[in-house]
Amino acid sequence: GENVEQHPSTLSVQEGDSAVIKCTYSDSASNYFPWYKQELGKRPQLIIDIRSNVGEKKDQRIAVTLNKTAKHFSLHITETQPEDSAVYFCARGLGGNQFYFGTGTSLTVIP
């Protein structure tokens, strides 16, 4: 269906450690997978995205991997810093401009 399952719902890591958030979907027609970050009291902002013809994409400390066969994609944050603390939302798109969002992961980076 339409839902994107996102896990975990909360995640606490020590500063400098890595954080991984995973999302799964069931619609094989999905072809676009963005990640949005929402800091406390602020608006969600796109941090990275991946399209279905790519298996991995990296941008400095952030990477996203996509496994189309297994229908899951993950956000990886390395060398976490306190400013990485936020709620992260995964989403999937079907080729239009509507997206189905996951339920969010609240990440806390402990200094």
Partner 1 sequence: DVKVTQSSRYLVKRTGEKVFLECVQDMDHENMFWYRQDPGLGLRLIYFSYDVKMKEKGDIPEGYSVSREKKERFSLILESASTNQTSMYLCASSLGAETNEKLFFGSGTQLSVL
Residues that bind partner 1 in the complex, under the rule CB under 8 A: 2, 6, 9, 31-32, 34, 36, 42-46, 49, 51, 89, 91, 93, 95-104
**DSSP one-letter code for 60:** T
Closer to partner 1 at the Cβ: 31 or 108? 31
What number of helices (H) and strands (E) belong to the chain?
0, 11
- Which C-beta is closer to partner 1: that of 14 or that of 97? 97
Return the number of the residue (14 or 98) whose C-beta is nearest partner 1: 98
Are 84 and 62 spatial neighbours (Cβ–Cβ below 8 Å)? no
CB of 33 to partner 1, least distance (A): 9
Which of 32, 62, 57 lies closest to 47 in space, CA to CA?
Answer: 62
Minimum separation from the CB atom of position 76 to partner 1 (A): 20
Residue 60 CB, shortest distance to partner 1, in Å, is 18
Specify the residue, 7 or 78, whose C-beta has the smaller distance to partner 1: 7
Instruction: Specify whether the CB–CB gap between 7 and 103 falls below 8 A.
Output: no
Q: How far is the CB of 87 from partner 1 (least distance, A)?
A: 9
Residues 6+ apart with CB under 8 A from 67: 55, 73
